[in-house]
Structure 1
Amino acid sequence: MPYADRVHQRYAGWLRQQEQAGVTYTAVERWWLDNVTDVIAASAGISAEDLETAPFAERGGVDGAIRDLGGQHTVELLRTLNEELTA
Protein backbone atom coordinates (compact mmCIF):
# COMPACT_ATOMS: atom_id res chain seq x y z
CA MET A 1 0.00 0.00 0.00
CA PRO A 2 1.41 3.43 -0.89
CA TYR A 3 2.56 5.57 2.03
CA ALA A 4 -0.07 8.28 1.47
CA ASP A 5 -2.83 5.67 1.52
CA ARG A 6 -1.50 4.24 4.79
CA VAL A 7 -1.45 7.71 6.33
CA HIS A 8 -5.05 8.37 5.32
CA GLN A 9 -6.11 4.94 6.56
CA ARG A 10 -4.42 5.60 9.92
CA TYR A 11 -6.10 9.02 10.07
CA ALA A 12 -9.52 7.45 9.55
CA GLY A 13 -8.75 5.00 12.36
CA TRP A 14 -7.54 7.80 14.62
CA LEU A 15 -10.74 9.76 13.98
CA ARG A 16 -12.79 6.67 14.87
CA GLN A 17 -10.83 6.29 18.12
CA GLN A 18 -11.44 9.94 18.93
CA GLU A 19 -15.15 9.57 18.26
CA GLN A 20 -15.35 6.45 20.43
CA ALA A 21 -13.65 8.43 23.21
CA GLY A 22 -16.32 11.12 22.89
CA VAL A 23 -14.13 13.65 21.11
CA THR A 24 -15.78 15.50 18.26
CA TYR A 25 -14.34 18.07 15.90
CA THR A 26 -16.08 21.02 14.28
CA ALA A 27 -15.99 21.54 10.53
CA VAL A 28 -13.27 24.17 11.01
CA GLU A 29 -11.17 21.84 13.15
CA ARG A 30 -11.65 19.05 10.61
CA TRP A 31 -10.43 21.36 7.85
CA TRP A 32 -7.17 21.80 9.75
CA LEU A 33 -6.86 18.12 10.66
CA ASP A 34 -7.65 16.94 7.12
CA ASN A 35 -5.11 19.31 5.59
CA VAL A 36 -2.47 18.46 8.19
CA THR A 37 -2.99 14.82 7.26
CA ASP A 38 -2.54 15.63 3.59
CA VAL A 39 0.81 17.29 4.36
CA ILE A 40 1.90 14.32 6.47
CA ALA A 41 0.92 11.98 3.64
CA ALA A 42 2.95 14.01 1.15
CA SER A 43 6.04 14.70 3.25
CA ALA A 44 6.15 12.18 6.12
CA GLY A 45 5.48 14.77 8.80
CA ILE A 46 4.41 18.32 9.56
CA SER A 47 6.00 21.17 11.46
CA ALA A 48 4.91 24.61 12.57
CA GLU A 49 6.70 26.05 9.54
CA ASP A 50 4.40 24.05 7.27
CA LEU A 51 1.46 25.90 8.77
CA GLU A 52 2.76 29.12 7.21
CA THR A 53 2.38 27.73 3.69
CA ALA A 54 -0.67 27.04 1.52
CA PRO A 55 -3.37 26.11 2.27
CA PHE A 56 -2.84 27.01 5.93
CA ALA A 57 -1.59 30.55 5.34
CA GLU A 58 -5.00 31.44 3.90
CA ARG A 59 -6.51 30.70 7.31
CA GLY A 60 -3.93 32.53 9.37
CA GLY A 61 -1.04 30.08 9.46
CA VAL A 62 0.20 29.15 12.92
CA ASP A 63 -1.96 31.84 14.53
CA GLY A 64 -5.03 30.51 12.71
CA ALA A 65 -4.29 26.97 13.83
CA ILE A 66 -3.89 28.10 17.42
CA ARG A 67 -7.13 30.07 17.19
CA ASP A 68 -9.13 27.30 15.53
CA LEU A 69 -7.68 24.27 17.29
CA GLY A 70 -7.49 25.67 20.78
CA GLY A 71 -4.15 27.09 21.82
CA GLN A 72 -1.78 24.56 23.39
CA HIS A 73 -4.04 21.79 22.12
CA THR A 74 -2.70 22.64 18.64
CA VAL A 75 0.83 21.57 19.56
CA GLU A 76 -0.49 18.35 21.07
CA LEU A 77 -2.59 17.58 17.99
CA LEU A 78 0.34 18.10 15.63
CA ARG A 79 2.59 15.91 17.76
CA THR A 80 -0.06 13.21 18.01
CA LEU A 81 -0.82 13.21 14.30
CA ASN A 82 2.88 13.09 13.43
CA GLU A 83 3.33 10.09 15.73
CA GLU A 84 0.12 8.23 14.95
CA LEU A 85 0.07 8.69 11.19
CA THR A 86 3.73 8.09 10.42
CA ALA A 87 4.19 5.02 12.65
Structure 2
Amino acid sequence: MFEAKGRGIRFDQIQELADRIARPPHNWTVDLIWNSYLSIGIEYRGHTETRNRHAATDLISLLRLEAGVDNALVPYSDQVEARYANWLLRQEQAGATFTETQRWWLDRMMRIIASSAGIDADDLDNAPFDERGGIDGALRDLGDNAGDLIEELNRELAA
Protein backbone atom coordinates (compact mmCIF):
# COMPACT_ATOMS: atom_id res chain seq x y z
CA MET A 1 0.00 0.00 0.00
CA PHE A 2 1.13 3.54 -0.74
CA GLU A 3 1.88 5.62 2.31
CA ALA A 4 4.05 8.69 2.67
CA LYS A 5 4.52 10.33 6.03
CA GLY A 6 3.67 14.01 6.41
CA ARG A 7 6.20 16.65 5.58
CA GLY A 8 7.57 19.11 8.11
CA ILE A 9 6.33 22.52 6.98
CA ARG A 10 3.32 22.80 4.73
CA PHE A 11 2.72 25.36 2.01
CA ASP A 12 -0.40 26.65 3.76
CA GLN A 13 1.78 27.53 6.77
CA ILE A 14 4.21 29.43 4.55
CA GLN A 15 1.33 31.20 2.82
CA GLU A 16 -0.15 32.11 6.20
CA LEU A 17 3.16 33.72 7.19
CA ALA A 18 3.26 35.61 3.88
CA ASP A 19 -0.31 36.80 4.45
CA ARG A 20 0.46 37.92 8.01
CA ILE A 21 3.49 39.99 7.08
CA ALA A 22 1.50 41.57 4.24
CA ARG A 23 -1.04 43.01 6.69
CA PRO A 24 -0.90 46.56 8.01
CA PRO A 25 0.97 48.25 9.49
CA HIS A 26 3.96 46.83 7.58
CA ASN A 27 2.42 45.60 4.31
CA TRP A 28 5.54 43.57 3.58
CA THR A 29 5.81 41.21 0.64
CA VAL A 30 8.37 38.53 -0.10
CA ASP A 31 9.66 40.76 -2.93
CA LEU A 32 10.06 43.77 -0.66
CA ILE A 33 11.95 41.84 2.02
CA TRP A 34 14.10 40.02 -0.56
CA ASN A 35 15.02 43.26 -2.33
CA SER A 36 15.79 44.91 1.00
CA TYR A 37 18.40 42.26 1.70
CA LEU A 38 19.87 42.74 -1.77
CA SER A 39 20.00 46.51 -1.27
CA ILE A 40 22.19 46.13 1.82
CA GLY A 41 24.66 44.00 -0.09
CA ILE A 42 23.67 40.46 0.83
CA GLU A 43 25.15 38.13 -1.76
CA TYR A 44 22.76 36.61 -4.28
CA ARG A 45 23.38 33.07 -5.56
CA GLY A 46 20.84 31.76 -7.96
CA HIS A 47 19.61 31.78 -11.50
CA THR A 48 19.44 35.23 -13.10
CA GLU A 49 15.80 34.74 -14.05
CA THR A 50 14.78 34.15 -10.42
CA ARG A 51 16.66 37.14 -8.95
CA ASN A 52 13.60 39.39 -8.94
CA ARG A 53 10.79 36.83 -9.04
CA HIS A 54 9.82 35.50 -5.63
CA ALA A 55 7.30 33.04 -4.30
CA ALA A 56 5.97 32.47 -0.81
CA THR A 57 8.42 29.57 -0.47
CA ASP A 58 11.26 32.09 -0.71
CA LEU A 59 10.36 33.01 2.87
CA ILE A 60 12.13 29.74 3.74
CA SER A 61 15.30 31.08 2.10
CA LEU A 62 14.96 34.37 3.98
CA LEU A 63 14.49 32.57 7.29
CA ARG A 64 17.49 30.31 6.59
CA LEU A 65 19.57 33.42 5.83
CA GLU A 66 18.43 35.19 8.97
CA ALA A 67 19.05 32.11 11.12
CA GLY A 68 22.59 31.83 9.77
CA VAL A 69 21.97 28.49 8.03
CA ASP A 70 22.77 30.10 4.66
CA ASN A 71 25.09 33.03 4.00
CA ALA A 72 23.58 34.18 0.71
CA LEU A 73 20.17 34.68 -0.83
CA VAL A 74 19.26 31.69 -2.95
CA PRO A 75 15.69 31.28 -4.21
CA TYR A 76 14.05 28.25 -2.65
CA SER A 77 13.33 26.70 -6.05
CA ASP A 78 17.02 27.00 -7.00
CA GLN A 79 18.00 25.29 -3.74
CA VAL A 80 15.57 22.44 -4.39
CA GLU A 81 16.83 21.98 -7.96
CA ALA A 82 20.45 21.84 -6.76
CA ARG A 83 19.58 19.35 -4.00
CA TYR A 84 17.72 17.23 -6.54
CA ALA A 85 20.69 17.18 -8.92
CA ASN A 86 22.91 16.10 -6.01
CA TRP A 87 20.40 13.46 -4.92
CA LEU A 88 20.27 12.02 -8.44
CA LEU A 89 24.07 11.94 -8.58
CA ARG A 90 24.24 10.10 -5.24
CA GLN A 91 21.63 7.62 -6.47
CA GLU A 92 23.66 7.00 -9.62
CA GLN A 93 26.86 6.57 -7.62
CA ALA A 94 25.07 4.03 -5.44
CA GLY A 95 24.09 2.07 -8.54
CA ALA A 96 20.46 3.13 -8.83
CA THR A 97 19.07 3.78 -12.27
CA PHE A 98 15.76 5.34 -13.18
CA THR A 99 13.78 4.74 -16.35
CA GLU A 100 12.52 7.67 -18.41
CA THR A 101 9.06 7.07 -16.91
CA GLN A 102 10.40 7.07 -13.35
CA ARG A 103 12.34 10.27 -14.07
CA TRP A 104 9.10 11.86 -15.28
CA TRP A 105 7.60 11.22 -11.85
CA LEU A 106 10.70 12.26 -9.92
CA ASP A 107 11.24 15.45 -11.94
CA ARG A 108 7.67 16.56 -11.37
CA MET A 109 7.79 15.66 -7.69
CA MET A 110 10.86 17.89 -7.43
CA ARG A 111 8.93 20.74 -9.09
CA ILE A 112 6.07 20.34 -6.60
CA ILE A 113 8.55 20.42 -3.72
CA ALA A 114 10.16 23.54 -5.21
CA SER A 115 6.83 25.35 -5.43
CA SER A 116 5.12 23.97 -2.31
CA ALA A 117 7.94 23.10 0.13
CA GLY A 118 7.00 19.43 0.04
CA ILE A 119 4.86 16.76 -1.49
CA ASP A 120 2.53 14.14 -0.11
CA ALA A 121 0.41 11.32 -1.51
CA ASP A 122 -2.61 13.59 -1.99
CA ASP A 123 -0.59 15.71 -4.43
CA LEU A 124 -0.34 12.71 -6.75
CA ASP A 125 -4.05 12.92 -7.55
CA ASN A 126 -3.60 16.45 -8.93
CA ALA A 127 -1.98 17.82 -12.08
CA PRO A 128 0.39 16.86 -13.54
CA PHE A 129 0.31 13.42 -11.91
CA ASP A 130 -3.34 12.70 -12.62
CA GLU A 131 -2.54 12.48 -16.36
CA ARG A 132 -0.46 9.39 -15.56
CA GLY A 133 -2.87 7.74 -13.16
CA GLY A 134 -2.29 9.59 -9.89
CA ILE A 135 -1.39 7.43 -6.91
CA ASP A 136 -2.08 4.24 -8.87
CA GLY A 137 0.23 5.43 -11.64
CA ALA A 138 2.96 6.21 -9.12
CA LEU A 139 2.69 2.71 -7.70
CA ARG A 140 2.71 1.22 -11.17
CA ASP A 141 5.72 3.22 -12.39
CA LEU A 142 7.76 3.64 -9.19
CA GLY A 143 6.86 0.37 -7.51
CA ASP A 144 6.03 -0.40 -3.92
CA ASN A 145 8.68 2.02 -2.66
CA ALA A 146 6.86 5.07 -4.10
CA GLY A 147 5.98 6.23 -0.57
CA ASP A 148 9.58 5.82 0.54
CA LEU A 149 10.73 7.86 -2.47
CA ILE A 150 8.36 10.69 -1.55
CA GLU A 151 9.60 10.65 2.03
CA GLU A 152 13.21 10.67 0.86
CA LEU A 153 12.63 13.49 -1.64
CA ASN A 154 10.91 15.57 1.05
CA ARG A 155 13.75 14.93 3.47
CA GLU A 156 16.52 15.58 0.94
CA LEU A 157 15.04 18.40 -1.13
CA ALA A 158 12.87 20.37 1.26
CA ALA A 159 15.61 20.65 3.91
What TM-score does the superposition give when structure 1 sets the normalisation length?
A: 0.98
Matched, 1:37 2:110: yes
Give, in angstroms, the shift of residue 80 of structure 1. 0.1
**Do structure 1's residue 75 and structure 2's residue 147 form an aligned pair?**
yes
Q: How many residues align?
A: 86
Corresponding residue to 2:100 among 2, 27, 38: 27
Please list the CA deviations of residues 28-50 of structure 1 after superposition, one character each: whole Å capped at 9, or x if unmatched: 00000000000000000001110
- Counting helix residues as a fraction of each chain, which structure ranks higher? 1
2-structure distance, mates of 1:86, 1:56: 19
The answer to whether the aligner puts 1:3 opposite 2:114 as a matched pair is no
Task: Let me know the Cα RMSD of the aligned residues.
Answer: 0.4
Pairing partner for 2:127 from 32, 41, 54: 54
Greater RCO (Cα-Cα under 8 Å, separation 6 or more): 1
2: CA distance, partners of 1:10 / 1:21: 16
Structure 1: gaps of 5 or more residues: none
Corresponding position of 1:64: 137
Same amino acid, percent of matched pairs: 58
Please identify runs of 4+ aligned residues in structure 1 that moved more than 6 A: none
Unaligned segments of structure 2, at least 5 residues = 1-73
